[in-house]
Amino acid sequence: MPTKPNASLFAFALSFLSFVTARANAQPALLRGQDAFGDWQRDKPGTVRLIRPEDLPKPGATPSAGNVSRVVPRPAAVTPQVPPGFKIELFADGLSGPRIIRTAPNGDLFVAETRAGRIRILRAAVGASKPQVSEIYASDLNRPFGIAFFPGGDNPQWVYIATTDSVVRFPYRSGDLKASGSPETIVANLPHGGHSTRDIAFTLDNRRMLVSVGSYGNDGEGLGRPPGGLESWSRERALGAAWGYETDRAAVLGFDPDGKNRKVFATGIRNCVGLAIQPRSGAPWCSTNERDGLGDNLVPDYVTRVRENAFYGWPWFYIGGNEDPSHAGERPDLKDKVTVPDVLLQAHSASLGLTFYEGTGFPAEYRGDAFAAEHGSWNRSRRTGYKVVRIRLKDDVPTGEYEDFVTGFVVNDSDVWGRPVGVAVARDGALLVSEDGNGTIWRVSH
């Protein structure tokens, strides 16, 4: 005679199964290697990706695509997506192409409205979901992008702004809403044309000013073999010997804070759009746009620590000793001198703004990690990017993994409503994200 099921045991089994299922669902999906290559339809907050140099396809494995997105108004009631436990809300709108955001020590938000040639200040009460003050701090600037306060600490005396062809500064007192007087030019002759963004950061000891300058072209069109070796190229900036447009470009430049003693800090970085100093280690980091034209999954964009005097490959090599077919045989002497970046991102994501999270508003495991804004692809058959990612660190060292954190800016295969650019941590620990498609800033809290 069959035994009667034990109701309590059955209930326990169901409860345990539900617990295991919930735990499994709570664990982020980890996509490795080629599984990490995807498109906007696979993006989801919490999805983690790990791409290694050995995962890369051969150049031309897929055709080079032209797939430019069309920016449309944000659909009614649509908001970006964030991980469970987080909340995202519209912080500001009606802005003119907001790009880099930087938080002043007093909590004011400095926003570069690059196309409009101005810097705006937004002031919000701690924890507020909207700014109470919006003022133009400075205008008539030549495509301003990077913003930095100097010296570091609670009482900076200057606001530095990197325009497309110069670095200028304004005297600053905490709480200023308007620039005092005309800008003082600190660096007058930054290379310009081509990639136009220039970011700026100061080392923790306040002794060096770093400025990122992207390449003029895509992959060094027309470059041959400069005289000397890598040391000569870095020291004498001989990259422009074959094609003058690339002199002092695809690099991070170093200066004294007064703009003197110009040197090349690191080279071979095609376009370091986002430049940031890691607060704990003091290491400079770059959020980098790599080259186009080699297929859907080449060349990965990346976020990396930038070591002084290091060479990151552009234009002759990429992601280590992988030779660019456009420069086959030109610089075999450089193959073993290429520094491999720390975190490889889906190719053509267009990684822009970068910030480190040291706030207390997010769970403890987020402290020390970085966030990067992905502006979105045009050179990929299936759209990618258009999101904000979390760069995972362990003991302040990048693991190589990155996680989708804010998604939902793509409408369909043709249309997008948002293109993330800037990321900053507000004084209350919220993460602020700018997008220049519809001119908005979003606030992420926990």
**Mean pLDDT for all residues in the chain:** 91
Give the pLDDT of residue 223: 72
Which carries the bigger pLDDT value, residue 314 or residue 240?
314
Sign of the CA dihedral 217, 223, 227, 228? positive
Q: Is residue 224 part of a domain?
A: yes
The whole domain housing 166 covers 27-445
How many whole angstroms separate alpha carbon 414 and alpha carbon 67? 8
**Residue 366: alpha-carbon gap to chain centroid:** 17
- Based on the structure, what is the number of domains in the chain? 1
For residues 201 and 277, the answer to whether their CB atoms sit within 8 Å is yes
- The type of residue at 162 is A
How many whole angstroms separate alpha carbon 9 and alpha carbon 18? 14
**Residue 206: alpha-carbon gap to chain centroid:** 23
- What average pLDDT does this structure show over 68-88? 96
443 DSSP β-pair partners: 89, 432
Q: Is residue 3 part of a domain?
A: no
Which CATH number belongs to the domain containing residue 200 in this structure?
Answer: 2.120.10.30
Side-chain-side CA neighbours of 383 within 13 Å: the count stands at 23
Rg of the chain in Å (alpha carbons): 23
Q: Is residue 16 part of a domain?
A: no
Give the pLDDT of residue 28: 65
Would you put residue 77 in left (φ > 0), alpha (ψ -120 to 50) or beta? left
DSSP per position, 15-59: HHHHHHHHHHHHSPPEEEGGGG---GGG--TT-EEE--GGG---T
Would you put residue 206 in left (φ > 0), alpha (ψ -120 to 50) or beta? left
Q: Is residue 414 part of a domain?
A: yes
pLDDT at residue 18 is higher than 90 = no
Q: Is residue 256 part of a domain?
A: yes
- pLDDT tens readout for residues 90-104: 999 999 999 999 999
- pLDDT tens readout for residues 164-192: 999 999 999 999 999 998 999 999 999 99
Q: Is residue 8 part of a domain?
A: no
295: CB partners within 8 A, 6+ apart: 57, 59, 60, 61, 62, 63, 64, 347
Give CA separation, 171 vs 43, 151, 424, in Å.
Answer: 43, 12, 22
How many whole angstroms separate alpha carbon 192 and alpha carbon 202? 21
Give the pLDDT of residue 261: 97
> Lowest-pLDDT range, 230-244, 300-314, 316-330, 354-368?
230-244
Give the pLDDT of residue 27: 57
- pLDDT tens readout for residues 187-222: 999 999 999 999 999 999 999 999 999 999 999 987
Q: Is residue 5 part of a domain?
A: no
Q: Is residue 83 part of a domain?
A: yes
Give the pLDDT of residue 148: 98
Q: How many Cβ atoms are within 10 Å of 373's Cβ, its own excluded? A: 32
